[in-house]
Structures are given as C-alpha cells and as structure tokens.
C-alpha cells in the first residue's frame, strides 16, 4: 500500500485528490490549516472506503508546524510515498494595492510552504530512496495574469523549484513534478462572477472551465507508478487556454 500526505486536503483540488487516492487504495493524510471539521469529515469518508486515513493540522508557512505534521503522519502510517503540495492562497488586485504583509503571506504559503513540506519529507524519502512529490502551480505561473502579479510570481517560483528539485533528487529515485491547472471550479475562484466564468470558458478551447477532479487526476497520474519515468515536468490541465 502507498501512503500520501496532501496539504490543502480539506477542499478543492486537494480534497478531490484525497478521494481519488483513497479509491486507488492508498492511505491518505488530509492536511489542513483551519478547516478542521471538513478535514475530519473527509478523513472519516476515506476510512469508509477501507483505507487508512487521518486529518493532520499545520500552517505550511510555519516550518515547525510542518515538521510536526510530517512526524504525526509517519507515526501513524510508518511510511510516506507521496507528497502533494496543494495548499495555497490567492490574491486579486493591482500590484500597487497589495501591501507588504499580503505579499509576504502569499510567498510564505505558496512558496515557503512547498519548501517546508519537501524538506520535512525528504529525510524519510531519501532513506528509502523512493518517493513522489507533486506540487501545484497555476497556468498564471507560466504566463502571468494581470491583477494577479503577486500570485503569478509565487506560482512561477513553484515551477522553478519543482524543476530544480527534480534534478537534485533524481539520483535518489525521488520524482518531483508539477500540476499547473487552468481555471478550475473551486472555492479559490469563488470571487469570479458568473459572467467572468462564462468569459473564461469561452476563451478556453474546450469551451468550459475545469473541475477539481480533473486537476486531481493529473496529480494522481504524476504520483503513480504509471509516471515512473517522469520528473521535472509540468502537466497543465487547462483546457488549452495556455499552451
């Protein structure tokens, strides 16, 4: 059996991935920051599928909390095969309107959070010479978005970090890949009006926005043995909006 830790696992792409991983028979640790009730309910749901499941709390921006989260997962599961870094925050607004605290929080969660999680799991994965890490970026990390410069910068950093870490860890048989979704129907995009969503769907070659399940499927593929010769790659479930 494989065991996965999913940060940001209580909602959105993370929750969809948790359900998909569990249906594949993998044990799942649902990482969350504040949504304890949702994380506990999801862990119970996954346990009902007959797989080991747990909810574990940490603010990924805090390195100490992340270390304790990983220790808790390893104490229960004894091994960790997959890390999915799905925790993230967004910001929409002119670059002139974002203050220093908002800027630093974006980078603390979206970039430092990925680094903290990778650093925390690596001693275990290096010891086993095995593991799969999947980060979650965004198509805006590839091409940038007006009024989302800070968010785009964090997601571009995640892509660069993924590619560099893949080269560093490849000799240890640890794969590192990235999912860069397009417009996905999650709470993170709840600020978009129906008209905005319709316009984005019209711009997308496939004519619609994506689902959390579709983005999760890309992450599950990269985490699986089916992708055993893929590392340092960015898979882009975006309906063709960015190519």
Tokens standing for residue 92 = 């929409």
Cα 177 to Cα 189: distance, rounded to the nearest angstrom? 24
Task: Give the separation between CA 242 and CA 213, rounded to whole angstroms.
Answer: 19
- Kindly write down the DSSP assignment for every residue of 139-183, as one continuous string: THHHH--TT-HHHHHHHHHHHHHHHHHHHHHGGGTEEEEEE---S
Residue 202, in any domain of the structure = no
Helix, strand, or coil (residue 174): strand
Give CA–CA dist 215/188, Å, rounded: 14
Give the total residue count for the chain. 243
The catalytic residue among 3, 32, 151, 161 is: 151
Does 207 map to a domain? no
Q: Is residue 52 part of a domain?
A: yes
**Nearest C-alpha neighbor of 119 from the set 61, 67, 166:** 67
- Spatial separation of the C-alpha atoms in residues 226 and 113, rounded to whole Å: 27
Rounded Cα gap, residues 151 and 110, in angstroms: 8
Three-class SS of residue 212?
Answer: helix
| Chain Cα centroid distance, residue 34 | 16
- In-domain check, residue 198: no
pLDDT in tens, the chain (243 residues): 999 999 999 999 999 999 999 999 999 999 999 999 999 999 999 999 999 999 999 999 999 999 999 999 999 999 999 999 999 999 999 999 999 999 999 999 999 999 999 999 999 999 999 999 999 999 999 999 999 999 999 999 999 999 999 999 999 999 999 999 999 998 878 777 888 899 999 999 999 999 999 999 999 999 999 999 999 999 999 999 999
Q: What is the number of domains present in the chain?
A: 1
Separation of alpha carbons 140 and 146, rounded Å? 9
Q: Within a domain: residue 66? A: yes
H/E stretch holding 5: strand 3-7
State residue 108's pLDDT score.
Answer: 98
On whether residue 199 sits in a domain, the answer given is no
- Any idea what the CATH number is for the domain that residue 166 is in? 3.40.50.720
| Residue 243, Cβ density class (10 Å: 0-12 exposed, 13-18 middle, ≥19 buried) | exposed
Is 71 within a domain? yes
- Confidence (pTM): 0.97
- Enclosing domain of residue 140: 3-183+213-235
Report yes or no on 217 lying in a domain.
yes
- 32: annotated active-site residue: no
Of 115, 124, 157, 121, nearest in space to 140 by CA: 157
């Amino acid at each position: 059996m494989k065991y996965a830790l999913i940060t940001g696992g209580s909602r959105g792409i993370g929750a969809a991935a948790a359900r998909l991983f569990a249906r594949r028979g993998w044990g799942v640790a649902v990482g969350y920051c504040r949504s304890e009730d949702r994380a506990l309910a999801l862990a119970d749901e996954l346990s009902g599928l007959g797989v080991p499941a747990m909810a574990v709390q940490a603010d990924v921006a805090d390195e100490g909390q992340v270390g304790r989260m990983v220790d808790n997962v390893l104490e229960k599961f004894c091994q960790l095969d997959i890390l999915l870094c799905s925790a993230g925050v967004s910001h929409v607004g002119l670059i002139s309107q974002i203050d220093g605290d908002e800027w630093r929080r974006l980078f603390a969660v979206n970039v430092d959070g990925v680094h903290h999680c990778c650093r925390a799991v690596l001693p275990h994965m290096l010891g086993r010479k095995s593991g799969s890490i999947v980060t979650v970026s965004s198509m805006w990390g590839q091409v940038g978005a007006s009024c989302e410069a800070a968010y785009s910068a964090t997601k571009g950093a995640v892509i660069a970090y993924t590619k560099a870490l893949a080269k560093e860890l490849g000799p240890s048989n640890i794969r590192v890949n990235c999912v860069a979704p397009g417009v996905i129907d999650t709470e993170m995009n709840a600020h978009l009006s129906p008209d905005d969503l319709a316009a984005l769907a019209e711009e997308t070659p496939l004519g619609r926005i994506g689902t959390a399940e579709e983005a999760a499927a890309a992450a599950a593929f990269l985490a699986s043995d089916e992708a055993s010769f893929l590392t340092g790659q960015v898979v882009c479930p975006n309906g063709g909006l960015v190519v």
